[in-house]
Amino acid sequence: MLRTVKPKNARSKRALEAREPKEVEGPRTALFVKGTHTGDVVNNAMKDLMALKRPDAIAFSKKNPVHPFDDAASLEFWAQKNDASMFLIGQSTKKRPNGLVFARMFDYKVLDMCEVGVENFVGMGSFKGPKSTPGHTPALHFASDLFDTHPRLAHLKSLLLSFFAAPSVDALHLPGLEHVISVSLGPTPLSTSTTPEDDVAHLPKVHLRTYAISQTPSGTRTPLITLRPMGPHMDLTLRRAVPPSSNPHLLNLAMKRPKLVKKEVEKGLGKKRKNVEVDEMGDVRGRIHVGAQELGALKGKRVKALRDGEEESEEGESDGEEERPQRKRRR
């Protein structure tokens, strides 16, 4: 546990304030950590993923004896020290060659982890053509029905989304959408529904591909899209995992949403619009405030039948009318 520091000057105070929790969070900072042994494949894979993740990425240059599934203490320490909330740990062992571990943190504690093995790695350098600008948000593409149905793959999708997606982007310059990270699966074997969750050997391979997007005008509002391989390309096999459901308390806290934002969303793109709201059916409902109606000044039709004893009734009514508005004013 790091000691808590009290800021002594304005700069350190600003730096500490930047670390404080925010209602709407920006992209997660990822730490790239190498284990005791990393092969060529893992090194290159981490380098290329780092190029995609930049500038929200910090790489450790030295090797570290880290075993995230046995002891996550050092992850928690690094997360706090660097204010990072994602980890990519590369390690290659005899038992688990070319492994990458994606770890997601909440409040500097490990929320969930997923280990994948890298195969058929093709780096960015092997593809000709321009690469995406560092810092540009990628589009993400997931293709398979298993991403919705199989818990392990849904978990992987969630982790990759946390890793690459930028949730705080509220406006986008469309020509700036330069690359897409596509995650697709091989053909679904018939037995996935019957095999238990942890049996990952029967799951199809995960293909992670990165393509550069080129847009040409098509005559409609939507441009015509063509893709060109940009790299990195790799095939992933699922290995060990710590699902987020393993610590439900943390997950509960992590899934809490600020109330204010939800209200703003319902009222339409974050703008404050008075007296207009969208109800459960999606209908826009407005409220109109009508000014005070002066019933005393109202002139009805004088009917012949009421003319008899006009004076009496008028006196009585006028008394009542004088009193009523006064009472209102007092309230």
Partner 1 sequence: MDVSDILASNAATQKLTAVEKEIPLQVDAGLLTVTDLNPVDKESYDANTEDYLLSTARDGVQTLFAALAAFPTVSSPYGALTQLPPPTTELPRAKPLPKPKPPTKWEQFAKAKGIQKKRKDRKVWDEEKQDWVNRWGRDGKNKEGEDAWLSEVKQGADVDHDPAQELRTARKARVAKNERQQLQNNARAQGSSQAPEREQRKMEIDRTLATTRVSTASMGRFDRQLDGEKKIRGVKRKFEPNERSVEEEKKNSLSIISKLESDTKRAKKEKGGGDDVVNVRKAIRNASGGKGSAALSRGSSGKGKGTKGKGKR
- Work out the angle between the directed axes of helices 151-164 and 40-53 (0-180°, nearest 10): 60
Q: Cα separation of 86 and 53, whole Å?
A: 11
Among 22, 37, 81, 96, binds partner 1 (CB under 8 A): 22
Q: Is 225 in the site for partner 1 (CB under 8 A)?
A: yes
Among 17, 25, 310, 319, binds partner 1 (CB under 8 A): 25
Nearer to partner 1, 38 or 105 (CB): 105
Q: Interface residues for partner 1 in 69-88 (CB under 8 A)? A: 85
Which residue's entry shows tokens 């939800």?
262
Helix (H, G, I), strand (E, B) or coil at 118: strand
Q: Interface residues for partner 1 in 141-200 (CB under 8 A)? A: 141-145, 147-148, 157-158, 161-162, 165-167, 169-175, 177, 180, 182, 184-188
Among 99, 138, 231, 243, binds partner 1 (CB under 8 A): 138
Q: Which stretch binds partner 1 (CB under 8 A): 23-31, 59-67, 87-95, 292-300?
A: 23-31
In the complex, what is the shortest distance from the CB of residue 9 to partner 1, in angstroms, rounded to a whole number? 19
Q: Interface residues for partner 1 in 241-270 (CB under 8 A)? A: 244, 251, 253-258, 261, 265, 269
If phi > 0 it is left, if psi is from -120 to 50 it is alpha, else beta; for residue 49 that is alpha
Question: How is residue 294 written in tokens?
Answer: 């002066």
Among 137, 192, 195, 247, binds partner 1 (CB under 8 A): 137
Question: How is residue 312 written in tokens?
Answer: 């009496």
Q: Interface residues for partner 1 in 267-306 (CB under 8 A)? A: 269
Rg (CA), the chain: 31
Question: DSSP label at 155?
Answer: H
Q: Is 59 in the site for partner 1 (CB under 8 A)?
A: no
In the complex, what is the shortest distance from the CB of residue 327 to partner 1, in angstroms, rounded to a whole number? 23
Nearer to partner 1, 85 or 92 (CB): 85
Among 97, 106, 239, 240, binds partner 1 (CB under 8 A): 106
| 1: number of Cβ within 10 Å | 7
Q: Cα separation of 231 and 174, whole Å?
A: 21
Q: Cα separation of 273 and 207, whole Å?
A: 45
Q: How far does the chain reach from its first CA to its final CA, in angstroms?
A: 60
